[in-house]
């Protein structure tokens, strides 16, 4: 699997999805993938970010993480997306990034990309599954190959058992409720494995 190139594209306001992305990076590297972690551009105004201490702290802490571009998609054999849920859909920052990939899509450069997705919300039924499914709808338009974790490893049950993609609840204290690190790493490894088979 050392020949697989994986791009992890995330959006995170307080750090939860950034942590999911970093765990996915670790898992993919464990099986020899070449990995990029990139964030989608922030759309919120500076004053909105500054008014939330947790958001501002994470924003400042990740200033050096490169912003995602179309080149990161074109380069990749596989892509893992990680986004918080917003009313059962992807965050507007992630949606804006996806919506700007029309040129790449029109030239056929999204076809057969192997993709998987992860998400978070503030409560266990806060729209996690709907968010992942809505992202996968876009991937169907891309002609991508969707790789959900399903129930391919017992670690998924300890993480809440979401077959569409790893999802986590962020408690009021800002910490993750479920222990999802192993599930995220398994999902990343599975994505890389399928990408290696597709790539041949």
Q: What is the pLDDT of residue 173?
A: 86
pLDDT value of position 36: 98
List, in sequence order, every residue forming a beta bridge with 168; answer none if it has no partner: 120
Strands (E) located in 62-199: 78-86, 89-90, 114-121, 145-146, 167-169
* Nearest residue to 27 (alpha-carbon basis) of 128, 140, 174, 159: 159
What is the structure's pLDDT at 53? 92
* C-alpha closest to that of 20 among 79, 83, 70, 68: 83
**Domains: count for the chain:** 1
pLDDT at 137: 97
pLDDT tens-digit profile of 10-68?
999 999 999 999 999 999 999 999 999 999 999 999 999 999 999 999 999 999 999 99
Are 5 and 71 a contacting pair, CB within 8 Å? no
Query: What CATH number does the domain containing 30 carry?
Result: 3.40.50.360
pLDDT of residue 2: 64
Range of the domain at 63: 5-199
| List of the chain residues with pLDDT < 70 | 1-2
Alpha carbon 84 to chain centroid, angstroms = 9
């Amino acid at each position: 699997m050392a020949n697989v190139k994986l791009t992890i594209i995330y959006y995170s306001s307080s750090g939860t999805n950034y942590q999911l992305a970093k765990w996915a990076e670790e898992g993919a590297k464990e099986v020899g993938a070449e990995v990029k972690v990139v964030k989608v551009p922030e759309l919120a105004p500076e004053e909105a970010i500054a008014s939330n201490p947790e958001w501002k702290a994470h924003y400042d802490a990740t200033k050096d993480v490169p912003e995602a571009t179309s080149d990161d998609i074109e380069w990749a054999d596989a892509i893992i997306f990680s986004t918080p849920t917003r009313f059962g859909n992807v965050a507007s920052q992630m949606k804006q990034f996806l919506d700007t990939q029309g040129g790449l899509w029109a030239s056929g450069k999204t076809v057969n990309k192997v993709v998987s997705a992860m998400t978070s919300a503030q409560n266990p039924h806060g729209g996690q599954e709907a968010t992942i499914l809505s992202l996968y709808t876009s991937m169907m338009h891309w002609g991508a190959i969707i790789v959900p974790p399903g129930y391919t490893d017992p670690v998924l049950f300890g993480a809440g058992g979401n077959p569409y993609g790893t999802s986590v609840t962020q408690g009021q204290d800002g910490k993750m409720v479920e222990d999802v690190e192993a599930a995220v790493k398994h999902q990343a490894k599975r994505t890389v494995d399928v990408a290696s088979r597709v790539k041949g």
